[in-house]
Amino acid sequence: MNHHLPRNGSGHTLYPTIVGFIRLWGVRLGLGYLLAVFTGVGTMGVWLAMSLSNLFSGLAMIPWILKGNWTRGTYLEAIV
């Protein structure tokens, strides 16, 4: 077992990238615009959307972490 592996990242980036994309472009930007403009709460809506986007990403990552596939090796690890 390579003791440096945990701090170098798992190499599994597809799911976190998708969650991050949805979080930033869908929840943070989209919801922030809707809350700020259409509800009339202004900048408070933007800050609320930012908080909710962080909550969304955290909740979306829990099943992925619990599944444990990220602990297995990657194709690149097998080559090196």
5 domain-assigned: no
Residue that wins the pLDDT comparison between 69 and 27: 27
49 domain-assigned: yes
| C-alpha 46, offset from chain centre | 18
Total structural domains in the chain? Answer: 1
3 domain-assigned: no
Q: Which domain holds residue 42?
A: 11-79
Contact of 74 with 11, CB cutoff 8 Å: yes
H helical segments located in the chain = 5-8, 14-21, 32-33, 43-67, 75-79
28 domain-assigned: yes
pLDDT in tens, 40-51: 899 999 999 999
54 domain-assigned: yes
Task: State pTM to two decimals.
Answer: 0.71
